[in-house]
Chains A and B, each alone.
Chain A
Amino acid sequence: MTFKGVSIVVARWLSSLELPFRLDRGLPQANLRLVVDGLAGALALGVVVASPVAAQEKPSSLGLGIFTFTSGPAAAYGMPGKNAADLMIDEINAAGGIGGVPVSATYVDEAQGAQGVIAEYRRLAGDAKNQVMVAALSSANCLALAPLAEQLEVPTVGWNCDTHQLLIDGKSKYVFRPNGNTVPEFIAYAIYLLDRKPDVKTIAIINPDYAFGHDAAKIFIAALKALKPDVEIVAELYPKLGSPNYQTEISRLATARPDVVFSNLWGADLENFVRQAAPRGVFTSSQVILALGETVLQRVPLPDGVIVGVLGDGWWMSPDAKAKPETVKFADAYKARFGEYPVFPSIKMANALIYVKAAYNTAMQKNGGKWPTRAELADAMKGSKVGTLTGTAQTRADNDGLVDQIVGVTAKTPGQQFPVIGDMVRYKGDSLMPQAGQDPLAWIATLKPEFAKGLPKPGSYK
């Protein structure tokens, strides 16, 4: 109501300008007053609505800009995220919304490329209704949007972008990442591999040809070199993102005859690779590591013993997840609505929305129950510790999240028709992360074999 009063006062003051500036122009005085009052009122209201202060009035709905891939090969990974967002928003709204405000999402397809994504971000940020951006899936898009988030002062939660470069300068005020970082993610595979196969000598890598693929390889190799310096990399293949055919790469892997094949292929690429590599014996001749392997467990018949992971702790069947009724309910609702259980991108999205909801609750607690501004919301995310569907997201001073890492191997279980993750380990989030501000690769180079000895072993997470 305060703002309505301010609007009327501003409007009245503006309309009083008609006399000194002789704005009558032959109009009857009453009509003139009406016109000027209307214009001035509209202007004043526009100013008030567009200003961040107005956000302290509870809006009729809370808009979220959610960026994911809804088309192209990456949609195989992006759509489970969108599905989870749809489901989670329905659940939030059924429970009364956030602080009594219903949530609505505007989805942006990241397949349009960085320029389109930036334009969409600007457009959504220009509408005060959209208080938060959940952006993005692609690390490249997150890197492109981060400066914009700071410039426009819009709280932005990276729901899936893992690149360690995102928050490396430690200066971010509005960009947060509660879901994972490439450094702990890929060190975890090196440690797990060496625990499980300490005599490994040769490794081949097949990763997608873009930043995520190259960064993952760099971190994985750096960790291996630090922890077991005699390991030899016999092939490094980087097929184009979205490649439909890997037959030549598979032949190349077969001729290199490595002890281990490591891959962070994902989405349709991963599914393609597995379908093409399995009949050609790659999974029997080498120990295969599929860093994002959980996403295809329900879709392709992976043999037993493949090392798979979830980039973080987001597996709906982990002991922690199964112990939470809300996670079981979410997984069952997801299965009922979309025909398969949530894969870890779905859980990452759900956890990101839980993180946003928690930030609203904290911000409203801090300011006496008022609807928070964007700045207040960002402030509430800083240093937060949020219980998610699968664990805890601890936000550090540099806005990066500490989440645990789960790694295991494919195994059969009588409870499911598809392989599950067995022989699991759960590494603590902070145990594999360099300190804020530390150069990640320099930190990895300092690791000694003793470092891994102090960490939990395969099979210890039950």
Chain B
Amino acid sequence: MLNAIIPLLLDSLASAALIFFAAVGLTLVFSVLRVLNVAHGSLYSIGGYVAASICLFIASRQLNPYLSFAALLFSAVCVAAIFGPLIERGLVRWTYGKSEAVQILITFGLFLILEDLQRVIFGVQSFYEDAPMRLLGTTSIGGVVYLNYQILLVGMAFLVVIGLRLLINHTRLGRLITAVVTDREMAQSIGIDTNRIFILALSLGVFLAALGGALATPTSGIAPGLGADTMVLAFAVAAIGGLGQIEGAALASLIVGLARVLAIYLAPSLDAVAPYAAMLVVLLIRPYGLFGSVAARRI
């Protein structure tokens, strides 16, 4: 078992990175808009489909393969630019102030529509595009061959945590978001355009989801059903970390990643239930999650 410790830790980090991308957008949107977006998982898979399609286009035209890295980012931007304003203006804005049940039902309806839309546009077959993974090569650590792309993913997850912190604490937009989160009515009364903040926040959430899907594509296939799986896992992470807590999402991703990896190494039959077992343990001790509290509205 000792010789497995380094691979175990590395796998936990790599697994946590993918889970974090899926969860952080969900928690950010909840923090600002107070809406639990059930369609979040679909936006993750749409990001993956779009990224794979662009990368496949690059490969089919025999363009510079390194363009596929830019394609991953570009696809997330495109998905956010289209779906962010569309969803906020067209759907979510009608749910503000309504009960959580209504919000969940409406975003669940959106989830079903988006899932069918993906099926119509991308078909039911799996999509693969692994050019970025192949370009970066491999490294042997602790006797196990790792993809350098996996290490890149861990770095990207750290960058997103730091980037979000900087955005919220050190930019004007961040201060506006914080003002809206703290007291929406007061923010409106001092002239902050809350509608604009909501569109931006939702678009940022969509961007993070789509970026997660896009970054996952080179090491994972995309097929119908990915959205549902992602959504469930993102909810578990958000619940463990505390809804609306970015650092909470990061820590919860690590916990869930570690739980999954430990299960695969030590008790493979528990692999599927490990994230939810971790959630159960945390919620029994802290019902509002690790960083959550009853009344707090921090981000």
Which A residues are within 8 Å of any B CB, using their own CB? 70-73, 75-76, 79, 209, 235-240, 242, 244-245, 247-249, 251-252, 254-255, 267-268, 271-272, 275-276, 279-281
Chain A hits for B133, CB < 8 A: 279
Residues 141 to 155 of chain B near chain A (Cβ within 8 Å): 143-147, 150
Q: Would you give the shortest CB distance from A458 to chain B, in whole angstroms?
A: 29
Would you give the shortest CB distance from B1 to chain A, in whole angstroms? Answer: 9
Checking A71, A236, A240 against B124 with a beta-carbon cut-off of 8 angstroms, the contacting residue is: A71
Inside 8 A of A70's CB, which chain B residues have their CB? 124
Q: Which residues of A contact B89 (CB under 8 A)?
A: none
> A-B pairs with the 4 shortest C-beta distances?
A268-B126, A244-B220, A75-B124, A272-B221
Q: Which residues of B contact A254 (CB under 8 A)?
A: 7, 143-145
Q: Enumerate chain A residues within 8 angstroms of B269, measured Cβ to Cβ.
A: 238
Q: Given A247-B11, A248-B264, A268-B126, verify A76-B223 contact (CB < 8 Å).
A: yes
Give Cα A240–Cα B10 distance, bound, in whole angstroms.
21
User: Interface-forming stretch among B105-113, B181-189, B224-232?
Assistant: B224-232
Contacts of B143 in A (CB 8 A): 254-255
- The residues in B between 1 and 54 inclusive whose CB is less than 8 angstroms from any CB of A are 3-4, 7-8, 10-11, 14-15, 18
Assess the A275–B128 pair: CB atoms within 8 A: yes
B residues in contact with A75, CB < 8 Å:
124-125, 223-224
Given contacts A254-B144, A279-B147, 20 further A-B contacts (CB under 8 A): A71-B124, A71-B224, A72-B124, A76-B126, A237-B264, A238-B269, A239-B271, A240-B272, A242-B225, A244-B222, A245-B18, A245-B216, A247-B14, A248-B11, A255-B144, A268-B221, A272-B221, A275-B128, A279-B145, A281-B138
Interface string of B240-282 (1 = CB under 8 A from A): 0000000000000000000011001100110110000000000
Across the interface, do A280 and B147 meet the contact criterion of CB distance under 8 Å? Answer: yes
Judge whether A245 and B223 touch: CB under 8 Å.
no
Name A72's contact: one of B15, B219, B220, B225 (CB within 8 Å): B225
Which partner residue on chain A sits nearest B7 by CB separation? A251
Cβ B216 vs Cβ A275 within 8 A: no
Q: B175 — which chain A residues lie within 8 A by C-beta?
A: none
Instruction: Give B265's nearest chain A residue, CB to CB.
Output: A252
Which residue of B11, B18, B138, B271 is within 8 Å of A251 (Cβ)? B11
B134 at interface by CB-CB < 8 Å: yes
Contact of B216 among A244, A248, A267 (CB under 8 A): A244
Does chain A have a CB within 8 A of B196? no
> Do A275 and B130 touch across chains, with their CB atoms under 8 A apart?
yes
Is the contact region of chain B dominated by helix, strand, or loop, or is it mixed? Answer: helix
Q: How many residues of chain B are within 8 Å of chain A by beta carbon?
A: 42
User: How far, in Å, is B167 (CB) from chain A's closest CB?
Assistant: 28
Given contacts A240-B272, A275-B130, A281-B145, contact A245 B119 (CB under 8 A): no
B124–A238 touching, CB < 8 Å: no
**Neighbouring B residues of A280 by C-beta, 8 Å:** 138, 145-147
How many A-B contacts at CB < 8 Å in the complex?
109
Q: Which of B138-186 contact A (CB under 8 A)?
A: 138, 143-147, 150
Q: Is the CB of B223 within 8 A of A242?
A: yes
8 residue pairs A–B, Cβ–Cβ below 8 Å? A71-B119, A72-B223, A76-B223, A235-B268, A242-B229, A244-B221, A247-B11, A276-B220
* Shortest distance between the CB of B161 and any CB in chain A (Å): 21
What are the residues of chain B within 8 A of A252 when measuring CB–CB? 7, 264-265, 268
Give the chain A neighbours of B10 by CB distance below 8 A.
251
Which of B146, B224, B265, B271 is close to A73, meaning CB atoms less than 8 Å apart?
B224
Q: Which residues of the partner chain B approach A255 to less than 8 Å between Cβ atoms?
A: 3-4, 7, 143-144, 265
For residue A244, which residues in chain B have a CB less than 8 angstroms away from its CB?
216, 220-223, 226, 229
How close is A192's CB to chain B, nearest CB, in angstroms? 26
A209–B269 CA distance with the chains assembled, in angstroms? 8
Nearest to B221 among chain A residues (CB) is A272
Q: How far is the CB of B9 from chain A (nearest CB, A)?
A: 11
Contact B125 A79, beta carbon cutoff 8 Å = yes
Instruction: Chain A residues near B138: list those with CB within 8 A.
Output: 279-281
Docked complex Cα distance between A249 and B126 (Å): 20
Asked if A275 and B14 sit within 8 Å, CB to CB, the answer is no
**Contact between B7 and A271, CB atoms less than 8 A apart:** no
Give residues of chain B (115-136) contacting chain A, Cβ–Cβ below 8 Å. Answer: 119, 124-126, 128, 130, 133-134
Q: Which residues of chain A are within 8 angstroms of B216 by Cβ–Cβ distance?
A: 244-245
Which residues of B sit under 8 angstroms from A238, Cβ to Cβ? 268-269, 271
B264 to chain A, nearest CB (A): 5
